[in-house]
Amino acid sequence: MTTGTWAEPTVGATSTALARLSLNTATTKYWTLREAVDGAVGAGLPAIAPWRDRVHEVGVAEAARMIADAGLRVSSLCRGGFLTAEDDADAKAALDDNRRAIVEAATLGTRELIMVVGGLPAATAPGGPARREPGGRDLVGARQRVADRIGELAPFAAGHGVRLVLEPLHPIFAADRAVISTLGQALDIAEPFPADVVGVVVDTYHVWWDPDLQRQIARAGTAGRIASYQVCDWILPLAADALLSRGHVGDGYVDFPTITRWVAETGYTGDVEVEIFNESVWDAPGDQTIATLAERYLEHVQPFL
């Protein structure tokens, strides 16, 4: 009821403002799951998005208990995917691993399993040079394999109440990490499946540049397929490892108010995850990182939700 002046935020008010903010554990990379859970709770965050490596360290059942006991939601599990192998044995291993990830997501009590779908077979390693021999560069074929294998996984996911969440990655990663490069393409692959079985994530870092973004966010929202809204910034110059070129919201070029409004206009009411890969962010104390991301969220994202 104040007019013309600003009240000091109270803890209660801050908690309400943070009611949709989720800590993706990749942001506090060097923290164990226990530390990340405690850090999120301490900062007043209601949700967490664990990566599987941190879950495996303690075991899935214990991780589920730890998070539930802390009163946190699991906004998503990161990550499944890597579905582009040409070789049958590699493909089978990938499908098996994804089935394990689906079970883990169900155990953790989240319905959203983030899928990074994998790069071209020509890639020697993520970020590495292309193989010298010809072949492995058929991008159209690799994309079709992703669609086919999502089809193979969909019944198993549905049976566990888990949604396969396709993540378009920035085209900088099309060769070596994910052949899904736009939100529109992710939605095309999702379309044959029910919205509660195959969804998409809108990650500002990966999609901010897309001239078709507003339309595709609206399409995703209308279809009920937005499973997660992830925020971090596009910063320059790129880090030596381009994967680590993500910045805190507000440090780079992304127009967060505009994209956040587009997401909000679809009626999306889910969590907003902050997922930052950045060596200097990782080197900062975890509590400081959470304080910064909460502050930036309140400035650049939350008012537009």
Binding site for a copy of itself (CB under 8 A): 120, 122-123, 127-130, 137-140, 143, 170-172, 174-176, 180-182, 184-185, 188, 208-212, 214, 234-238, 240-242, 251-255, 258
Handedness of CA 103, 229, 126, 63 (dihedral sign): negative
CB of 5 to a copy of itself, least distance (A): 23
| Min dist. Cβ of residue 303 to a copy of itself (A) | 13
Tokens describing residue 90: 């590699």
Asked if residue 121 lies in contact with residue 177, where contact means CB atoms within 8 angstroms, the answer is no
Nearest distance from C-beta of residue 99 to a copy of itself, angstroms: 27
* In the complex, least distance from residue 123 CB atom to a copy of itself, rounded to whole angstroms: 7
End-to-end CA distance of the chain: 21
Q: Which is nearer to a copy of itself, 109 or 141 (CB)?
A: 141
Only one residue has tokens 């303690």, namely 58
Residue whose CB is less far from a copy of itself, 176 or 273: 176
Residue number, 54 or 206, with CB nearest to a copy of itself: 206
H helices present in the chain, as ranges:
11-17, 33-42, 52-58, 60-69, 88-108, 139-159, 183-190, 204-207, 213-222, 256-265, 279-283, 286-300
Name residue 112's beta-bridge partners: 163
Q: Based on CB atoms, which residue is closest to a copy of itself, 28 or 245?
A: 245
The burial of 283, by beta-carbon neighbours within 10 Å (0-12 exposed, 13-18 middle, 19 or more buried), is given as exposed
Cβ atoms of 246 and 282 closer than 8 Å: no
**C-beta of 112 vs 167, nearer to a copy of itself:** 167
Q: How far is the CB of 170 from a copy of itself (least distance, A)?
A: 6
Q: How far apart are CA 248 and CA 291, in angstroms?
A: 11
If the CB atoms of residues 234 and 277 are measured against a copy of itself, the closer one turns out to be 234
Q: How far is the CB of 290 from a copy of itself (least distance, A)?
A: 22
Smallest separation (angstroms) from a copy of itself to the CB of 86: 14
**Nearest CA among 78, 163, 156 for reference residue 112:** 163
Q: Is 162 helix (H, G, I), strand (E, B) or coil?
A: coil
| Cβ within 8 Å of residue 186, ≥6 positions away | 166, 167, 168, 180, 200
123 vs 290 by CB, closer to a copy of itself: 123
Q: With respect to a copy of itself, which residue has the nearer C-beta, 208 or 277?
A: 208
Query: What is the nearest approach in angstroms of a copy of itself to the Cβ of residue 14?
Result: 22
Question: Strand pairing of 246-247 and 233-234?
Answer: antiparallel
